[in-house]
C-alpha cells in the first residue's frame, strides 16, 4: 500500500467517502505524498512526455505567438507572461529564446510561474536561472499581480480535479471514493441525487440513459483567467487533450511508468488526468466578457504558426540522425494517428475582445 493510500483510508474511515474530485486533488497535490509534490515525472525517462519535452519547436512557436499577441496589445512597457503548471520550465525557456526576435518584448516581460509543487518549482528554477528576466513563483493564479498579461497553460487543465456523476433511475448521483468490504479503496455512489443537476448540464447530457457518466470541473480558474484578460488586456492560451463539445463518458485515467493503471491503485504514485471539456471553458469565458478563439486541433494551430518551416530550418542544420528526430517530433506533435497529439489535443484562447484576430486561430 502506498503511504497516501494509508492516509486516504484513515480519512475515509473517519469522515466517510470523498468525491472523485477530492480524491484526484489529493492524489496529485497532497502536500507530502501527492504525485507532483514528490517527483519530476516528465520526459523520456519519466512516466509520460509532454509537447515541450518532445521538441523545442513547441515552446518556440508559443514564444512567437506571445510576442505577436504583445504587439497586438499595443506593446505595453510592462506585462506579465504567466505560465500555469510549467512542469520542468522547458516551454518557458524555449519561448523566451524565440521571442528575442522582438527585443522590446524581452525588456518588458515579467515572468510569473504558477506551480503548487515545491519539487517542480526547484526544477523550474534550475531551467530558468540563466535567463535575464524577472521571475516570480505563485501557488495559485489568483496571486499573480493585476495588469496586462499573456497566459500559457499546456496540459494544466487536465490535471485539475474532475467530478463524476452517474445517471440512475433516481437522478444523477456523484461518484465517490469509499472503502469496499475488504477495506480497500472502492468507487461508490453518493446516496442522494445531486439537487437541480439536470438544470445545469446541457440538455443532451441531462436526458442520458441510466448508467451514463458525466464529468465536470470547477470553473473558477477559467473564469478568473477570462476576467483578467478582458479587464486588463491580453490573452490566455490553453492547450490540452479533450473534446470540443460537452460529451458523456468517463475519461479519468491513471498513467504510471508502465502505461495505463487503475485510478484507485497506487494513489500518489501514478498521474491522474481527465479530458478537458472545451465547450464548458468557452462558455465560462464568454459569460465574463472574454472573446473565445478556437478550439482548433493542436496540429492545425502549430501548422498555422509555421511549425513545418521551423522543422525544415532545423533539419537543414542537422546531421542525418537528428533530422530523423525532428521529423518524428513533427509527426508526434501534429499528426492525427493514435500515437500523435495533433488531433486529440486542442488549442483555445480567451482574449480581450479589443485584440481582434489572434495568430494561429484566425488566419
Query: What residue ranges bind ligand SAH (CB under 6 A)?
Result: 28-29, 36, 42, 50, 52-53, 85-87, 114-117, 120, 154-156, 159-160
Give the sign of the dihedral formed by CA 340, CA 114, CA 82, CA 55.
Answer: negative
- Residue listed under C-alpha cell 451514463: 212
Closest-CA residue to 52 (of 87, 91, 25, 20)? 91
Q: What is the smallest separation between the CB atom of 238 and ligand SAH, expressed in angstroms? A: 11
Beta strands in the chain (DSSP E): 18-19, 79-84, 109-114, 135-138, 149-154, 163-168, 171-179, 185-189, 213-216, 234-243, 253-256, 259-261, 271-273, 276-277, 291-297, 345-351
Question: 206 or 343: whose CB is closer to ligand SAH?
Answer: 343
The residue (of 280 and 355) whose beta carbon lies closer to ligand SAH is: 280
**Shortest Cβ 333–ligand SAH spacing (Å):** 12
Contact status, residue 26 vs residue 60, Cβ threshold 8 Å: no
In the bound state with ligand SAH, the residue whose beta carbon lies nearer, of 53 and 174, is: 53
Collapsing DSSP to helix, strand or coil, 303 comes out as helix
Nearest to 331 by CA among 65, 50, 54: 54
Which residue number, 42 or 241, has a Cβ lying nearer to ligand SAH? 42
Question: Closest CB to ligand SAH among 197 and 241?
Answer: 241
Smallest gap from residue 121 Cβ to ligand SAH (A): 9
Residue that is written with C-alpha cell 465547450 in the block: 279
Terminus-to-terminus CA distance in the chain, angstroms? 52
Q: Kindly list the distances between the CA atom of residue 58 and the CA atoms of 237, 303, 330, in Å, as whole numbers in the listed order.
A: 13, 11, 9
Closest to ligand SAH by CB, 114 or 280: 114
Q: What is the DSSP letter of 142?
A: G
Cβ-in-10-Å burial (0-12, 13-18, 19+) of 6 comes to: exposed
Q: Which residue is nearest to ligand SAH (CB)?
A: 85
Minimum CB–partner distance for residue 326 and ligand SAH (Å): 19
Least separation, in Å, of the C-beta of 167 and ligand SAH?
29
Distance (Å, whole) CA 193 – CA 210: 13
Task: State which residue, 105 or 156, has the beta carbon closest to ligand SAH.
Answer: 156
Shortest Cβ 138–ligand SAH spacing (Å) = 9
Q: Which is nearer to ligand SAH, 17 or 52 (CB)?
A: 52
> What does 29-44 look like in DSSP terms, one character per residue?
H-TTT-HHHH---BST
Tell me how far, at minimum, the Cβ of 184 lies from ligand SAH, in Å: 26
Question: What is the closest distance, in whole angstroms, from the C-beta atom of residue 54 to ligand SAH in the complex?
Answer: 9
Run of H or E residues at 2: none
Written as nine digits, the cell of 177 is: 471514493
Judged by CB, which is closer to ligand SAH: 72, or 341?
A: 341
Question: Shortest distance, CB of residue 353 to ligand SAH, whole angstroms?
Answer: 27
Amino acid at each position: 500500500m502506498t503511504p497516501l493510500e494509508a492516509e486516504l483510508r484513515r480519512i475515509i474511515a473517519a469522515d466517510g467517502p470523498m468525491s472523485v474530485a477530492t480524491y484526484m486533488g489529493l492524489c496529485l497535490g497532497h502536500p507530502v505524498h501527492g504525485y507532483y509534490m514528490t517527483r519530476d515525472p516528465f520526459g523520456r525517462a519519466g512516466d509520460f512526455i509532454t509537447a515541450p519535452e518532445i521538441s523545442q519547436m513547441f515552446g518556440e512557436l508559443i514564444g512567437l505567438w506571445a510576442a505577436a499577441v504583445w504587439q497586438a496589445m499595443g506593446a505595453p512597457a510592462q506585462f506579465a507572461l504567466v505560465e500555469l503548471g510549467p512542469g520542468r520550465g522547458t516551454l518557458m525557456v524555449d519561448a523566451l529564446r524565440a521571442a528575442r526576435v522582438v527585443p522590446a518584448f524581452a525588456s518588458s516581460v515579467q515572468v510569473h510561474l504558477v506551480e503548487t509543487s515545491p519539487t517542480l518549482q526547484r526544477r523550474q528554477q534550475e531551467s530558468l536561472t540563466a535567463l535575464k528576466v524577472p521571475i516570480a513563483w505563485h501557488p495559485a493564479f489568483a496571486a499573480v499581480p493585476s495588469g496586462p498579461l499573456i497566459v500559457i497553460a499546456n496540459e494544466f487543465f487536465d490535471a485539475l480535479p474532475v467530478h463524476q456523476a452517474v445517471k440512475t433511475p433516481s437522478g444523477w448521483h456523484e461518484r465517490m471514493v469509499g472503502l469496499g468490504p475488504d477495506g480497500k479503496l472502492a468507487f461508490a455512489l453518493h446516496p442522494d441525487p445531486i439537487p437541480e443537476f439536470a438544470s445545469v448540464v446541457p440538455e443532451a447530457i441531462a436526458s442520458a440513459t441510466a448508467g451514463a457518466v458525466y464529468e465536470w470541473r470547477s470553473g473558477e480558474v477559467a473564469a478568473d483567467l477570462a476576467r483578467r484578460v478582458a479587464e486588463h488586456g491580453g490573452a490566455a492560451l490553453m492547450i490540452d487533450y479533450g473534446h470540443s463539445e460537452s460529451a458523456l463518458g468517463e475519461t479519468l485515467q491513471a498513467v504510471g511508468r508502465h502505461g495505463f493503471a487503475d485510478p484507485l491503485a497506487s494513489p500518489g504514485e501514478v498521474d491522474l488526468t481527465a479530458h478537458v471539456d472545451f465547450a464548458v471553458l468557452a462558455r465560462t469565458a464568454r459569460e465574463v466578457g472574454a472573446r473565445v478563439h478556437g478550439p482548433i486541433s493542436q496540429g492545425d494551430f502549430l501548422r498555422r504558426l509555421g511549425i513545418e518551416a521551423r522543422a525544415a530550418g532545423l533539419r537543414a542544420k542537422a546531421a542525418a540522425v537528428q533530422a530523423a528526430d525532428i521529423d518524428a517530433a513533427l509527426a508526434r506533435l501534429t499528426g492525427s494517428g493514435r500515437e500523435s497529439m495533433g488531433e486529440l489535443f486542442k488549442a483555445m484562447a480567451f482574449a480581450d475582445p479589443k485584440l481582434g484576430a489572434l495568430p494561429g486561430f484566425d488566419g
